Structure 1
Amino acid sequence: MNKSRHKFKEPDLVNILAIESSCDDTSAAVIQNGKILSNIIASQSVHEKYGGVVPELASRAHQQNIVPVVHQALSEANITKTMLSGVAFTQGPGLLGSLLVGTSFAKSLAYALDIPLLAVDHMQAHILAHFIDDPKPTFPFLCLTVSGGHTQIVKVNNYLDMEILGETQDDAVGEAFDKCAKLMGLPYPGGPYVDQLAHSGDPKKYAFPMTHMPDLQYSFSGIKTAFLNFLKNNERKDPDFIEKNKADIAASIQNTLIEMLLQKLLKASQKTNIREIAIAGGVSANSELRDKLEEESVKNDWTVYLPKLAYCTDNAAMIAMTAHYLLLEGKKASLRTDPDARLHFMGH
């Protein structure tokens, strides 16, 4: 009798290498059957002295970082290139030059190894970062996706089925945080510095006008202008106004921006009758936003999901998780170079 016929067969191991290069962080991660094995990030400090990301410098740094970052991710996961089942990359949105570095590397590797190529939408990946670890949201849920480039309320019906219910009509809330921080003389990126200062400030000390947009839309350009005028007017009276009141100013502008976010999120919850609420993106690391969401969960009977801080900012683990679901659905990208090829995400 052949006993081997009765032996338990190990499931096939599906290993995906994911690359994220949408802005100024070069990141690579390896996922195996839905479990993250490594997540390596190389940040770029060169932009600090310019007060913002310089696209040309970012793409050059990606070229320098991508090979060692990928090597480290594979090494930490104890995976060799020949063990890979697919290669994923961020297709967009992001800085064109930065995206091109990651795209070119991923396409070349997938072509050389003759394995599937997986094109990932960056904002969709931020949302699916919630499925890296427990607890995980239950479908459908609402996700407030907030970053330096985007502010959206997304209805998530399934892993790859998402619908934008509302979004900013001009600037993103993360950009508003950074611009206000810059006007106060804080380093770049300014959002975390505003958050830190706000801990010792009075959030009700100064009032700023909130832009009221129809339905679930946002606008943050007006509050930036109002903030600039507020600082100029007070500096005319006292040149040291900002330095003397920095914590209160930071707390007040942060409180206003977060109030704007939550007003629309509450409206979206009431409109859809969905009480599973998540946040994603770089601004989801903001401590007051996280605290206020916890408070709202009690008031409105919400179940709130807050991502780990490591998965708030740009990272390849979220790209890998999205690629995992893309591969399961057989949604592979083309290896040919086509400037008109676009990933159609959430109706765009």
Structure 2
Amino acid sequence: MDTLVREAERCLPASVLTYYQQGAGAGLSAAEAEACWDAVRLLPRVLRDVSAVSTCTSVLGSEVDTPVLVAPTTLQRQAHKEGEAAMLRGTAAAGSLVCVSSNAGVPFKTLAGSAPWWVQAYVLRDRQLTVELLDRAREAGARAVVLTADTPVVGQKYSTGPSVWETVPPDHLLANVDWQGVEETRLEKAADLTPATIDWLRLTTGLPVVVKGVLRADDARECVAAGASAVWVSNHGGRQLDGAVATARALRPVADALAGTGAELYVDGGIRHGRHALTALALGATAVFVGRPTLWALTVGGAAGVQRLLTELTAELAHAMALAGAADIPSLTRDLVSG
């Protein structure tokens, strides 16, 4: 992973590299994410038949070969000229699934007929623009809507050079919003979201709704009660409230809160090794999402690079499963985690 990061750093413009890497504020939450997964200790089983290990599972009815999925990220056309289209091809080749950002730099229609994908949604102040964007995603084959719930305002980030927004061409984002001639305030993220927004999205799109950005058990229960099919534990890669708890620490209480509800549970943030994925799944996650590493892989190798990254993470997961005495995903249970 370190080699991949260094290679990507050599390829990317400075402002884009900073944007990809930075967290909000002092970067406390972004900096500790990986270490918090490393700190979790495991209790492997012995004398289990692991002659054949399967990483296959399903997420919201979509069958996948791996529970290591791709999180939504923006400015992908700065990483590769084909942007989200290349990311989706690489993800599909690895038997995985990608959540495409509502800020995507390619039209959703170019993704139609490809691998399973979900659309991430920032609800805008102008609800009609939001509906039009989601209609485009649904028509192009999106199978779920992921409501980003932790961004009533954008977390403050600091950089010394030119802002990425001063250097990136306008057509590298918001390719699915008719923004030309629209007042800028109408494009701002809505700050008045409530649990009722979940049901509004579900009824408007006819798709299952995932709520992303949940760190609290009580919020998780409220989301499911309001109609969410899944909850996504995330602190936005440390890019929103700096000092927010690491997802490795937030996952267990959220999983406990959702036990018996039938809702699926996902997590991201600092997952850099198959062992991290095993830990998350054992703590109750249905699947894990990877963000920044997929941007490094897209930068360095395009679709093939993304495929290689996901394949390697899945191989690491399978290896860790064998060592832990777990032959399949359902065997990854809480008793594998110490403490």
* Normalised-by-shorter TM-score class: under 0.3
Q: Say which one has the larger Rg.
A: 1
Higher percent of residues as strand: 1
User: Which structure is richer in relative contact order (CA contacts within 8 A, separation 6 or more)?
Assistant: 2
TM-score, reference length from structure 1: 0.27
